[in-house]
Chain A
Amino acid sequence: MSVAAQARPVLRVVEHHVLVYRRTWRGTLFSTFFSPILFLAAIGIGLGTFIDDANPAGIEGVGYLAFLAPGLLVAQAMQTAAFESTYPVMAGIRWLKTYVAMILSPLDTRHVATGQLIWTGLRVTFGAVIFAAVMAVFGAIEPGRAVLLLPVAALTGLAFAAPIQAFAAAQKNDSAFASLFRFVITPMFIFSGTFFPVTQLPELLQVVAYLTPLWHAVALARAIALDMVDPLLAVINVTYLAAFAVVGLLVSYRTFGQKLAE
């Protein structure tokens, strides 16, 4: 099977998501636009003023807003990806059964899973465009560098979306999703270097933080934003995130297949 022959049905699945989004995008406006503004204003500027006053040398040599914003951008990518890969996947398989309808056509479960992942990647990227624009307006980054953060956000989105959609497809109901957010996503959000360098953590927790994909995403985004890229570390960050995306997608082929085509 050629890649081109497989790309077409995958695009049809993405098309479905675009069509649905055309009717539902208004409901996502608040979280997409206002949450970055609120976060950057409250934490970056409000709390940041205190931090910068107490710490004139800055964190890693820059003010708190510049330190925080790139991390927050990829953390938002993670959260969008996690949300888009849980409830909508449950809806597609069990609640609205839109995926069930898809596989009655020439589309198969792999097309459905791949299309879902690509769509989540697009949603995350769209959110990141808004976030990066808000960052530039707040003076947290030069506009030219902000553009470079978009692929990082997209990769972060895929790294989280792929394993989470694999997990979501295997669930009988949505009860595990609350635990996923409470015990995985939120702790990662707080402790993976977004708000403070992980070197502040006890040594054992530092090791845990380095193993989280979000730490790699934050490190990469911050290095690009602050023009401090270490090529070797960047390659490790990208590889680590890509591995999550690829393995996650392969597992989701399995779980989507088991739930839809048995």
Chain B
Amino acid sequence: MSSVSSAPLIHARGLTKRFGDLTAVDAVDFDVQPGEAFGFLGPNGAGKTSTMRMIGCISPVTAGTLRVLGMDPATQGSTIRGRLGVVPQQDTLDMELTVLENLLIYGRYFDLSYKEARRRATELLAFVQLSDRADDEVEPLSGGMKRRLTIARGLINEPEMMLLDEPTTGLDPQARHLVWERLYRLKKQGVTLILTTHYMDEAEQLCDRLVVMDKARIVAQGSPRELVAQHSSREVLELRFDDGVTLDLDGRLDGLVERAEHLPDRWLLYGDDGDATSEAIHALGYRPVSQLVRRSSLEDVFLRLTGRTLIE
């Protein structure tokens, strides 16, 4: 990589999107560096997709500054799109064409010759493990296969940067892992990945750095590890009680528990030593139906920052 590439691929300051009275994205600031895997984590309606559509030069910016690959989406949208790979939330594959034809015609949109489009399509079908389905219709493919085909489609122009809007939402665990593994390979090849997700495990698996969005704003940013270190404790003790039992600590575990959260189905006690907390709880006479000590995750960060869980 040349030293010139240290300029950010995306530069956003005060980036805002409004639809009438609704503010979908409210003055957010962020930068994405070349080669990074950068994530937008947040619940549905947080403004992730609107942000992605502005970066993808599909949706015009309402206010603020946005530069993508050093260019202004308002005036150079088509040129920018020519260098991006986009995997939208819905696959938008052409159900009337075969798997291979979907890639060929998409290559034509990027002005590739049929010969070159065919060469790349064949390679990409192998990359997403769909070579044996090349001449099949798209409709009967499974959700995971359609998703992989959409990813292949987004790669037909050999993009410098990929925008992936909820790449694995709705996929079964096996299909998700296959998609993650392919995305990880792309990252290794130096492709910058920008993705939205409401799965904390996806963000933890794939993202070098991420921003947490809630209600159109960025509420925190950093690497997954930094975010957990800044906004949550080391460990969490999860407790479930019989109906009607209420946990009342009344300051008695102050040294062990930094913070307690009551969710509809369980209690979360945040502290540095989950096992010690568990012993103390028992010593106070509580008998949880089940309990679990685990490390803090991005889910806990989100809960801390917004008072809500990611998937509601």
Q: Which residues on A are within 8 Å of B, measured CB to CB?
A: 8-9, 12, 15-16, 19-20, 23-24, 96-98, 100-108, 260-262
B79 at the interface (CB under 8 A from A): yes
Contact B109 A107 (CB under 8 A): yes
Contact B96 A20 (CB under 8 A): yes
Contact A106 B109 (CB under 8 A): yes
Give the distance in Å from the alpha carbon of A261 to the alpha carbon of B88 in the complex. 13
Contact B79 A98 (CB under 8 A): no
| CB pairs A–B below 8 angstroms (28 shown) | A8-B111, A9-B109, A12-B111, A16-B108, A19-B97, A19-B101, A20-B94, A20-B96, A20-B97, A96-B92, A96-B95, A96-B96, A98-B94, A100-B88, A101-B92, A101-B93, A103-B58, A104-B56, A104-B58, A104-B84, A105-B106, A105-B110, A106-B82, A106-B110, A107-B78, A261-B58, A261-B59, A261-B60
Other contacts beyond A12-B108, A19-B97: 5, CB < 8 A: A96-B94, A96-B95, A97-B92, A106-B81, A261-B60
Residue of A nearest to B150 (CB): A101
Say how far B139's CB is from chain A's closest CB, in angstroms: 10
Give the distance in Å from the alpha carbon of A108 to the alpha carbon of B59 in the complex. 11
Contact B90 A23 (CB under 8 A): no
Contact B58 A106 (CB under 8 A): no
B130 at the interface (CB under 8 A from A): no
B77 at the interface (CB under 8 A from A): yes
Give the distance in Å from the alpha carbon of A98 to the alpha carbon of B111 in the complex. 18
Give the distance in Å from the alpha carbon of A106 to the alpha carbon of B112 in the complex. 12
Contacts of A262 in B (CB 8 A): 19, 59
Of all A-B residue pairs in the complex, the 10 with the closest CB atoms, nearest first, are A105-B109, A101-B92, A97-B92, A104-B86, A106-B82, A106-B78, A20-B96, A100-B92, A106-B81, A98-B94
Give the distance in Å from the alpha carbon of A101 to the alpha carbon of B56 in the complex. 12
Contact A105 B97 (CB under 8 A): no
Contact B111 A106 (CB under 8 A): yes
Residue of B nearest to A13 (CB): B109
B200 at the interface (CB under 8 A from A): no
Give the distance in Å from the alpha carbon of A101 to the alpha carbon of B153 in the complex. 10
B105 at the interface (CB under 8 A from A): yes
Residue of B nearest to A107 (CB): B109
Residue of A nearest to B153 (CB): A101
Given known A102-B109, A106-B109, contact A97–B90 (CB-CB < 8 A)? yes
Contacts of A102 in B (CB 8 A): 109
Contacts of A16 in B (CB 8 A): 94, 105, 108
Q: Determine which of B79, B96, B106 lies in contact with A23 in the assembled complex, contact meaning CB atoms within 8 Å.
A: B96
Q: Determine which of A100, A106, A261 lies in contact with B79 in the assembled complex, contact meaning CB atoms within 8 Å.
A: A106
